Structure 1
Amino acid sequence: MLEGGAAAAAGGQPSDAQPHPAPRTGRHSFDRSLHKANAALLAIENAARTARQQLQTKAEAIKVLIESTGGKLELTGGIDGEVEVNVGGRVVGVSRKGLMLDQLRRTYFAHLLLYCVDALPRDEEGRPFLDADSSYVKWLSDEMALVEGADAQGEEHEIELDDTQKEDPSYSFHQELFLTQTTLEIDTPSDNTHMDTRGAAEGNKEGGNKVRAAGEGAGDGGGEGGVMDKISKYVEGYKRAVAELKGAAGELEEFGKAMGPFLRAEDGSAHEVKTVTVLRKRVSTTDATLSQLGTDNLLYKRFSSEIVQGDVPIRQTSVEHFTKVVDFARRLRQEKRPGALVKKPSAKPRYIAQLKKDVEMYGLKMEDIHRPPAPFLTFEETQEVLPRYPTPRPNSSTVRRVTVVTSARWWTSGAYSPPTKVPIPTARQKVMVAGRDASIKVGNANKRGKMAIGCGYLWLCDGSPGPADDVRSMYQWVAKEDLPASYLGVTHDNGDGTLAGDWYCNAKEIAIYHVKSG
């Protein structure tokens, strides 16, 4: 029978860490079971110590992550007064109490100004500088004041863009970015008080029951079973807490990615604040925004000593148009998400022609900029990207839509010795797409899919009865009369063939290309 150090070793724990000898009755048949139970408890204790060490490692990693995203461990400046920040050349005061209201406190904007304000670049007077549209931030600050006032009266005020603002690329961009919701909490000083004491009290509850538990009899109904139930409960609680921690760390990483362009670089050089004065109005941005355009770009030179000295005004365009040009450059640097759309500046119809000239004078194109999509998009990313584009799609989740594709051609190798282009007849140049809760049925079989290309030459999400949950589940065929000569692949009795290795297959990867010419 294993005892003492041997039992500890069986539990995965060093023998010198065992506080008590293994319990014994003196009879081998009973002591064998006691040993197994004791070894299991030692393993649980050892696993708990390991988990605690892992928690410490997680805590240290999250602390590094917080600091790497420009954040402080505690609120900067408390929750009273205002955060005074230079926004694009205009000083704006933002209420800290307003940032703590329910409508704002779980937004990127609140976390940026309450936790990361010290990481923002500084203007020449030492103020935090936010490379954003000053008109939008001033409007947002005023809206926050209205929210504060309504809250004090027991009423509500929603921060929403009006129809005109929704059409303004700068307002819509900053509204979406700054008011992005996050599960990250803003901790007030009272939240941290006695945190360690409360945690220790929770963890030591069982210790307070030690004497009472020792007096319970072996036949007591609340004995071993009750203890094991509690252990299971604690393990589940640990799992939930670790999952919360992992989720919060992920949210913090996303926040860092989104707000990173606003924070200064480690050496400070990439985020030097540049300022010019146009008709007595100061317009500021960062060297990082200007450098992306190249040192030969006219906008870059406008902010350099090559063209202006000190506060010499620039009169080649209006203040409003110049500000729109600078904001367009900002958004080009800040919006790098795959598949995103950076909208060109907008103006009233009578000013569009002149705005276009002003934008192009500074070396930018007056057109929307589409960021290339990621090689593979997750479902969530696809849901975010698709609404940005005016692509034809079902107007209901329960219907399907047929779209004519006028230049569909497939090029493949494998079914032919040399690579061969397979023309698709004009009559088959159609794509059928089903809504979220709809499907497309095969005409002569009990099979369904979510997309049919070439009038059914390629089915995606193919299944029987289907549709399949995986878009890579495919069925592919080509009618005999549409197969070019020298076909080497498998065929049906009627001569129809497939360009894949089999009629039914699961694609390893799917890449989508949109090719335009002319």
Structure 2
Amino acid sequence: MAPKKRKNNDGSAAGGESIAAPSQLHSVTSGREEGDALVKEAANAVDGLGSATKTAMHQADGEIKALAASIKQLITANGGTIEPQQTEDRMQLNVGGTVMSIPMTGLLHPKMKLTYLSTLLLHFTDQLPKDTNNLPFLEAHPPYFRWLRDQLALLESRHLDEITLHSPEADDPSYAEYHSLFITKKLGGDIQGQRRAPGASAAAAAAAGGGGGEQQDVEMADGNGGAVEGEGEGRGEGRQGVGIDKAFERIERYMRTCRRVREGLQKQKEAMEAFLSAMRPFVKGPSSDEDIEVLTLTVYEDKVSVLRRTIAPLGASHALVKRYNPDEWPDQEARQTSLKFLQLIVDFARRLTVMPGRFVHPPVVAPHEKEMFAVELGMYGLNTVPLVGEAAAASAVIQTADQWLAVMKMTDKKIAVAPSLLYKSSRDTFEYPSFLNKVTGKSGLLFALRDGNTHRFGCFIDGPLTPPEDPTKANYYNVPVFFFSMSGAYETPTKIELPEDRQWVDVAGTQGVVKNKKDEPLANVYIGRGYLWLGFAVPGPAADLSSCQQWISKADLSEGYKGTTNEQGNGRLAQSRDFTCDEMEVWQVRSG
């Protein structure tokens, strides 16, 4: 005899597994042996259904409760509050040295309250560093915040439906990069929790015909917010009229609701984790009081402030760090400069720190100000900062910050994370399987090739490089592509746009080959419908990817081409049409 399971006080089995009352079908007969066998099978199935339903109720309660608790723990453990810390009047802030106020009604507006900025200011105010007047300090560009405050007023007055950047602000990284972080990014749902859904236990119990959830089932809404058909029309009569198929449909509906709620809470947890990570440079966190000291320079009566820890990564000997250090420079008034220039310079240094992993664009000034601003930028030691993290130092093809800036501008990704190196031939070899292993499944691929000491060029595929499922085949598909030259074919970094009929790539499997229109096997990969062949040979593919062919039609060459041409006027970005690549890199460039 099987041992009896120990029960808890509420009648459920110990360890979380519930014991349901046995089915009444165990005492039912049909008068025929074949029918009795089916009834017995049904009785066992109903027993199993009841037990599984009660177990599912218990597990759903546990999982959803744990997820909700983990979201709350993320908030409170990081110094946040569940309810907004202020809901009326205005909040006074020190934004990068400029004291200004922001109306709470604007932060609580339905189009704003889930943004990173509103979440930070409504629920994590006490975690912001404080200035010498004990005002919360927000590490941001004052002109952007002043613009945002005006937009909030227009949003409240219903002149605007949403806050969106347009030119000229959209072209200014001191606006666009903060807007992308503070306003465009949103949490997955209210910090107070997901839309209320039917209780998992009650829904499952009612669907299974068990007790405890019967009264709640009368007024229960379905998973989409509508009333459940046939319910609430008299408890006894309504239940007797529901057939087995209808009951099973209800069970499935409640199961879908529980899964949806669980997935929604999981997404909210992930969204909260992402928010906390992004806001780390703006809150006190574990930093010492010295690290979060607000440093200030003045331009006449105006102040330009920054946290000590924000500029510390530049190094103690850096010109900007020394300028903010009264021990190095007792006079904390900046003379013979403009407030605008100093704010832009400090904000550039700020964005390099508070937006880790992003491609940080340099400040934008009017054309007639560029020469003057370059002098100021150099005076504070920020004209040689590698703006793309370690990319400039890591690349053998795109060698300087200016070249990276030029290429990033070509990709037209205004807010982008720093380029990440996926593949480098000198590190990963020119072997085709190694190449595929590094780049497959990634999107936004920047190819950079070097042919000798003079010719450096590449192409950008604004999509994935996708090999065929069958390794013996090739995959030919349409994807946006352009080429560029760093040196050799053009005097300066130059983008070569391709017509629509050239926006194609062909990728062979590890045992396949890319063929030309004559069906001749030639290479492992071609890009731009034959403008670049990797692993090229006749017949192909070659032993590895270093054997290449590259050319561009005369009609598609950009203005300024200074390389050689053939009889048809076609040019090339390498030293010769058929060449051996001595370094090949593939970088991933993505929007932030």
Query: What TM-score do you get using the length of structure 2 for normalisation?
Result: 0.60
Q: Give the direction of change, closer, same or farther, for the CA distance of 1:103–1:390 in structure 2 (3 Å limit).
A: same
- Return closer, same or farther for 1:17/1:461 CA change in 2, 3 Å cut-off: same
Inter-CA distance 434–363: structure 2 relative to 1 (3 Å threshold) = closer
1:19 positional shift: 6.0
Q: 2:54 aligns with which of 30, 35, 45?
A: 45
Distance (Å, rounded) in 2 between the aligned partners of 1:268 and 1:167? 36
Q: Does 2:335 correspond to 1:291?
A: no
Q: Structure 1 residues 388 and 127 mapped into 2: Cα distance closer, same or farther (>3 Å)? A: farther
Task: Please state if 1:207 is matched with 2:195.
Answer: no
Q: Counterparts of 1:228 and 1:387 in 2: how far apart (Å)?
A: 61
Cα distance, 1:41 vs. partner?
1.4
Alignment partner for residue 145 of structure 1, among 150, 153, 158? 153
Letter of the 1:512 partner, please give it: V
Identify if the C-alpha distance between structure 1 residues 207 and 473 changes in structure 2 by more than 3 Å, giving closer, same or farther.
farther
The 5 Å alignment of 1:474-513 reads 475=513, 495-499=539-543, 512-513=586-587
From 121, 128, 137, the counterpart of 1:120: 128
- In the alignment, structure 1 residue 18 sits paired with structure 2 residue 25: no
Q: CA deviation at 1:159?
A: 3.7
- Comparing 178-187 with 130-139, greater Cα deviation is found at 178-187
Q: Is the 8 A contact 2:93 2:136 kept in 1?
A: yes
User: How far 1:192 sits from its partner (Å)?
Assistant: 10
Within the alignment, does 1:71 sit opposite 2:75 as a pair? no
Q: Which residue of 2 aligns with 1:263?
A: 283
How far the C-alpha of 1:367 sits from its partner, in A, is 6.8
Shift of 1:389: 2.5
Q: Distance in 1 between matches of 2:315 and 2:98?
A: 26
Tell me, what secondary structure is at the counterpart of 1:74?
coil
- Secondary structure at the counterpart of residue 292 of structure 1: helix
Return closer, same or farther for 1:64/1:500 CA change in 2, 3 Å cut-off: farther
1:86 corresponding residue in structure 2: 94
Find 1:164's aligned residue among 164, 168, 183.
168
SS in structure 1 of the partner of residue 337 of structure 2: coil
Q: Distance in 2 between matches of 1:230 and 1:133?
A: 54
**Paired residue type of 1:499:** A
Cα distance, 1:280–1:22 mapped onto 2, change above 3 Å: same
Counterpart for residue 419 of structure 2: none
Are the counterparts in 2 of residues 89 and 284 from structure 1 also a CA contact under 8 Å?
Answer: yes
Q: Is 2:389 the partner of 1:364?
A: no
1:330 and 2:375 aligned: no
> Any idea what the Cα deviations from partners look like across 1:462-497, whole Å, max 9, x if unmatched?
48xxxxxxx999745899999xxxxxxxx9x98544
Distance in 1 (alpha carbons) for counterparts of 2:47 and 2:521? 73
Which amino acid is 1:351 matched to?
A: E
Q: CA deviation at 1:165?
A: 2.6
* Equivalent residue number for residue 476 of structure 2: 448
Whole-Å separation in 2 of the counterparts to 1:21 and 1:513: 63
**Aligned residue type for 1:167:** D
Show CA shifts across 1:96-155 (max 9, x none).
111222442332222221122221111112111101111211121122123223x3xxx4
Residue of structure 2 equivalent to 1:389: 408
Would you say how many aligned residue pairs link Structure 1 and Structure 2? 433
Indicate which of 54, 57, 61 corresponds to 2:63: 54
Shift, 1:294, TM fit: 1.0
Q: Note the aligned Cα RMSD (angstroms).
A: 5.2
Task: List aligned pairs for 1:181-260, cutoff 5 A.
Answer: 181-186=185-190, 206-208=213-215, 222-260=242-280
Q: CA deviation at 1:461?
A: 5.4
Q: Go from structure 1 to structure 2 and tell me whether the alpha carbon gap of 1:203 and 1:75 turns closer, same or farther (over 3 Å shift).
A: farther
Which one of the candidate residues 268, 279, 282 is aligned to 2:300? 279
| Alpha-carbon displacement from aligned partner over 1:410-454 (angstroms, at most 9, x marks no partner) | 963599xxxxxx9999xxx998988889x9xxxxx9973347999
Counterparts of 1:214 and 1:473, CA distance in 2: 68
Measure, in 1, the Cα distance between the counterparts of 2:188 and 2:170.
27
Q: Which residue of 2 aligns with 1:174?
A: 178
Query: How many angstroms does 1:176 deviate by?
Result: 2.3
User: Which amino acid letter does the alignment assign opposite residue 274 of structure 2?
Assistant: E
User: What fraction of aligned residue pairs are identical, expressed as a percent?
Assistant: 23
Secondary structure in structure 2 of the residue aligned to 1:284: strand
With the length of structure 1 as denominator, give the TM-score of the two structures.
0.67
Greater shift after overlay, 208-217 or 259-268? Answer: 208-217
SS at match of 2:328: coil
Letter of the 2:388 counterpart: H
Structure 2: state its 5+ residue gaps.
30-35, 207-212, 219-231, 395-403, 413-427, 434-448, 467-472, 484-503, 524-534, 546-583
Please state which structure has a larger fraction of its residues in strand: 2
- In structure 1, C-alpha distance between the alignment counterparts of 2:53 and 2:121, rounded to whole Å: 44
Q: Give the Cα separation in 1 of the matches to 2:521 and 2:197.
A: 75
Higher relative contact order, chain-length normalized (CA < 8 Å, sep 6+): 2
The structural deviation recorded for 1:333 is 0.6
Q: Which moved more, 1:314-323 or 1:119-128?
A: 314-323
> Relative to structure 1, is the Cα distance of residues 204 and 169 closer, same or farther in structure 2, using a 3 angstrom cutoff?
same
Paired residue for 1:488? none
Q: Is contact 2:194–2:264 with CA below 8 Å preserved after alignment?
A: no
* Aligned partners of 2:57 and 2:200 also within 8 Å: no
Shift of 1:42: 0.6
Q: How does 1:337-356 map to 2 (within 5 A)?
A: 337=357, 340-356=358-374
> CA–CA distance in 2 between the matches of 1:432 and 1:265?
42
Q: Is the 8 A contact 2:522 2:541 kept in 1?
A: no
Q: Is the 8 A contact 2:293 2:308 kept in 1?
A: yes
**TM-superposed deviation, 1:26:** 7.4
In the TM superposition, what is the alpha-carbon distance from 1:301 to its structure 2 partner? 2.1
Counterpart residue number, 2:104: 96
1:192-237 CA-partner distances (Å, limit 9, x unpaired): 99x79999987886412699877899xx662333322211110011
Query: Which residue does the alignment assign to 1:468?
Result: none
Question: Once the two structures are superposed, what CA deviation does each residue of 1:338-361 show, in whole Å capped at 9, x if it has no partner?
Answer: xx4312223233332232222222
Cα gap change, 1:166 to 1:26, in 2 (>3 Å): closer
C-alpha change, 1:5 and 1:289, in structure 2 (3 Å) is closer
> Which stretch shifts more, 315-324 or 25-34?
25-34
| Runs of 5+ consecutive residues of structure 1 not aligned to the other structure | 376-384, 394-409, 416-421, 440-444, 464-470, 483-490, 502-509
Tell me if structure 1 keeps the 8 A contact 2:128–2:137. yes
Instruction: Give distance in 1, aligned partners of 2:246 and 2:522.
Output: 74
- After superposition, the Cα gap between the structure-2 partners of 1:371 and 1:476, relative to the gap in structure 1 and judged at 3 Å, is farther
Identify the residue that residue 228 of structure 2 maps to in structure 1: none
Q: Partner residue of 2:501?
A: none
